């Protein structure tokens, strides 16, 4: 059996698929949520979950939480006398969830689908997969959290065709995904997010308000007292779920200090966080080429969305009441369980097709001609843009920049910065080209990216026709080399440039024929229509091409009827 796991910043949980749909697996304490906290005692015994969370209050120097934010980094957490990476700490959480699942299901569990924030890059995803392996799990798939949530909502709450936005505010991360559901296909249109914005920041606002109102110097407090204040701030925050006024009661240096706050004051102090939220929302809408008015439904996911001020913010922003039919804490785990059922080809979900997008831009390093014989190195040339529906294939033509240049280096990059050095290098290819004058030799660089996180880079030398290729397999991909080659062969049709597809060629020829037969203003109109369609084809973007093709076909029909 494949279980679904939501490895969260503050809480984690697991689910499995049954004949009645996905179900949450309770932990050893009978609860759905396991705090993502690890603690170690003087005998090196490791505690996970609620016990570790309680120990953190008493022994803050031997416990750790919120470590998901450091997945894929080299940061070390010191717990007592031992050091751990974020992925090692995460493996303890995953192992506990696996053991709880085995006890509850009364069978061995070795496979899992694990969710990650949509904006996790390859390094963070690799670290998550490694954490699963350390816990004794075969990670069948890494799935984006908003996508997982959308799967659960899309399958069980939404049968009609619709566009919806998943607003995922977890304990430590914020993600926005725009998806479209039609004919049993859930298509991810765009993702955006912030890996350092979550429910924790809303707790920290209350802490800061408390310190400022009571004129307490935070730096003068012990770790234990700071942990206690943080807990009281968390309790105060949760109190807003049912009341418009909440209270913090803290013991500071032997003195009981009370602080009462209302939602209006709290909301005002959180305006900076709301402003940070607006940026990923704007970005995802722009990338999906969708207006706010086009969104049919907004789905809330993550414990942070239980806050009344967050729900008010979402309602005002989109002008609709968000959907909370599924427990925001559980939606991601339920979706991950459904994805596991898809992997197992469960008959209840086998008709569902899930598409995803490339969360980061893939490209290469280029030299820019600044004029006056000045060349500037180190610039980023995007090839597959972020939020391109995958699988996808794109081609960019690059030229030599020096006389008698005999080599071209393709630095394979992932990221959004215009400077190559600020992006993540995934590998490189060095291609030998015939010596010639600058700009006379060229290569076509084709990137083909698959939903299994397989990137094929193919470089073809225009003058000789010789090709060189490299396949970059993410370390969380389960396919072996033979399966990868088979998959790349299946999607090789994507490498055909849209201009060279028979239907598009036919449409272009029709336009050329009409142009030759026409004169005057008609000829000018036809030329403009042809150019517009050709420009769309050159984007190699399916959505743009389909829209332009529809418009171009209508134009051709109009011109033919006119004749």
The DSSP result for 72-90, as a single string, is TS--EEEETTEEEEHHHHH
Whether residue 40 is predicted with pLDDT greater than 80 in this model: the reply is yes
424 neighbors 413 (Cβ within 8 angstroms): yes
Strand partners, 169: 174
Window from 48-57, 90-99, 372-381 with minimum mean pLDDT = 372-381
Instruction: Give me the mean pLDDT over the 63-89 stretch.
Output: 92
- Cα dihedral 129, 130, 136, 142, rounded to 10, equals 0
Whether residue 500 is predicted with pLDDT greater than 80 in this model: the reply is no
Whether residue 210 is predicted with pLDDT greater than 80 in this model: the reply is yes
Model pLDDT for residues 328-370, shown as the tens digit of each residue: 999 999 999 988 887 776 665 555 556 677 778 899 999 988 7
Q: Residue 491: its pLDDT value, please?
A: 46
Q: Residue 355: its pLDDT value, please?
A: 64
Instruction: Give me the mean pLDDT over the 209-214 stretch.
Output: 95
Q: Tokens standing for 320? A: 């609709």
Whether residue 183 is predicted with pLDDT greater than 70 in this model: the reply is no
* CATH class of the 362-495 domain in this structure: mainly beta
The CB density around residue 319, as the number of other CB atoms within 10 Å, is: 10
Window from 82-96, 201-215, 292-306 with minimum mean pLDDT = 292-306
Instruction: Give me the mean pLDDT over the 310-315 stretch.
Output: 95
Q: Residue 464: its pLDDT value, please?
A: 93
Q: Residue 473: its pLDDT value, please?
A: 65
Whether residue 562 is predicted with pLDDT greater than 80 in this model: the reply is no
Q: What kind and span of H or E run contains 428?
A: strand 424-432
- Please provide residue 78's backbone torsions phi and psi, each rounded to the nearest 5 degrees: -95, 115
Q: Residue 381: its pLDDT value, please?
A: 92
User: How does the average pLDDT of the chain come out, rounded?
Assistant: 86
Instruction: Give me the mean pLDDT over the 114-133 stretch.
Output: 86
Task: Write out the DSSP string of 244-291.
Answer: SEEEEEEEETTEEEEEEEEHHHHHHHTHHHHHHHHHHHHHHHHHHT--
Instruction: Give me the mean pLDDT over the 163-169 stretch.
Output: 90
Q: How confident is the model at residue 485 (pLDDT cuts 50, 70, 90)?
A: low
Model pLDDT for residues 502-552, shown as the tens digit of each residue: 788 888 888 888 887 787 888 888 889 998 988 888 887 777 888 888 898
Task: Write out the DSSP string of 464-491.
Answer: T--EEEEEEE-TT----HHHHHHHHHHT
Q: Tokens standing for 116? A: 């990650």
Q: For a pLDDT cut of 90, what percent of the chain falls above it?
A: 48
Q: Evaluate the CA torsion angle 192, 195, 198, 204 in order and state its sign.
A: negative
- Cβ-proximal residues to 469 (8 Å cutoff; 6+ apart), any chain: 456, 457, 458, 459
Could you state, in order of their start, the residue ranges of all structural domains in the chain?
A: 2-197+272-357, 362-495, 499-562
Q: Residue 156: its pLDDT value, please?
A: 43
- Cβ-proximal residues to 201 (8 Å cutoff; 6+ apart), any chain: 273
Q: How confident is the model at residue 80 (pLDDT cuts 50, 70, 90)?
A: confident
Instruction: Give me the mean pLDDT over the 464-474 stretch.
Output: 82
Q: Specify the fold of 2-197+272-357.
A: Nucleotidyltransferase; domain 5 (3.30.420)
Q: How confident is the model at residue 131 (pLDDT cuts 50, 70, 90)?
A: very high
Q: Residue 347: its pLDDT value, please?
A: 60
The Cα 363–Cα 395 span in angstroms is: 10
Task: Write out the DSSP string of 347-415.
Answer: TTTTT-EEEEE-SS-EEEEEEEE-STT-EEEEEEEEEE-TT-EESEEEEEEEE--STT--EEEEEEEES
Length of the chain: 563
Q: With H, G, I as helix, E, B as strand and everything else as coil, classify residue 34.
A: strand
DSSP E strand boundaries for 19-173: 21-25, 34-35, 37-40, 46-48, 63-65, 76-79, 82-85, 111-116, 138-144, 162-169
- Cα dihedral 129, 132, 134, 138, rounded to 10, equals -90
């Amino acid at each position: 059996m494949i279980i679904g796991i939501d490895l969260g910043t503050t809480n984690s949980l697991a689910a499995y698929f049954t004949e009645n749909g996905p179900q949450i697996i309770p932990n050893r304490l009978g609860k759905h949520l396991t705090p993502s906290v690890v603690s170690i005692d003087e005998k090196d015994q490791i505690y996970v979950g609620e016990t570790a969370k309680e120990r953190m209050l008493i022994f803050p120097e031997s416990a750790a939480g919120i470590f998901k934010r450091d997945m894929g980094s080299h940061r070390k957490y010191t717990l007592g006398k031992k050091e751990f990476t974020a992925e090692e700490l995460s493996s303890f959480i995953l192992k506990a969830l696996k053991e709880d699942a085995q006890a509850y299901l009364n069978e061995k569990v070795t496979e899992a689908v694990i969710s990650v924030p949509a904006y996790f890059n390859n390094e963070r995803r690799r670290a998550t997969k490694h954490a699963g392996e350390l816990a004794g799990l075969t990670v069948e798939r890494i799935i984006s959290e908003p996508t997982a949530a959308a799967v659960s909502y899309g399958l069980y709450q939404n049968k009609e065709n619709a566009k919806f936005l998943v607003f995922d505010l977890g304990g430590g991360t914020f993600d926005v995904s725009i998806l479209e559901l039609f004919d049993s296909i859930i298509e991810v249109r765009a993702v955006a997010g912030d890996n350092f914005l979550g429910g924790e920041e809303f707790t920290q606002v209350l802490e800061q308000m408390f310190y400022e109102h009571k004129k307490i110097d935070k730096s003068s407090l012990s770790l234990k007292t700071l942990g206690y204040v943080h807990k009281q701030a968390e309790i105060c925050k949760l109190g807003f779920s049912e009341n418009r006024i909440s209270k913090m009661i803290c013991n500071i240096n032997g003195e009981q200090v009370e602080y009462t706050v209302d939602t209006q004051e709290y909301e005002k102090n959180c305006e900076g966080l709301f402003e940070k939220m607006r940026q990923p929302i704007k970005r995802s809408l722009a990338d999906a080429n969708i207006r706010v008015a086009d969104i049919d439904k907004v789905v809330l996911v993550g414990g942070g969305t239980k806050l009344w001020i967050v729900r008010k913010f979402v309602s005002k922003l989109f002008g609709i009441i968000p959907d909370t039919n599924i427990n925001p804490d559980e939606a991601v785990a339920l979706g991950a369980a459904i994805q596991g059922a898809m992997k197992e080809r469960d008959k209840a979900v086998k008709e569902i097709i899930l598409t995803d997008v490339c969360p980061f831009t893939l490209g290469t390093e280029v030299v820019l001609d600044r004029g006056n014989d000045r060349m500037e190195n180190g610039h980023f040339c995007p090839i597959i843009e972020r939020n391109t529906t995958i699988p996808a294939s794109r081609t960019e033509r690059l030229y030599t920049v020096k006389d008698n240049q005999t080599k071209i280096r393709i630095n394979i990059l992932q990221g959004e910065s215009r400077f190559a050095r600020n992006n993540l290098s995934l590998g490189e290819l060095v291609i030998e080209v015939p010596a010639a004058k600058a700009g006379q030799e060229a290569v076509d660089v084709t990137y083909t990216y698959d939903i299994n996180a397989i990137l094929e880079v193919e470089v073809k030398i225009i003058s000789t026709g010789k090709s060189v290729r490299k396949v970059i397999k993410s370390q969380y991909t389960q396919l072996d080399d033979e399966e990868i080659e088979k998959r790349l062969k299946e999607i090789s049709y994507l490498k055909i440039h849209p201009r060279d597809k028979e239907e598009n060629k036919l449409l272009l020829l029709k336009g050329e024929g009409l142009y030759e037969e026409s004169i005057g203003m008609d000829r000018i109109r036809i030329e403009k229509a042809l150019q517009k369609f050709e420009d769309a084809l050159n984007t190699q973007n399916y959505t743009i091409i389909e829209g332009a093709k529809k418009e171009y076909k209508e134009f051709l029909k109009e011109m033919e009827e006119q004749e």
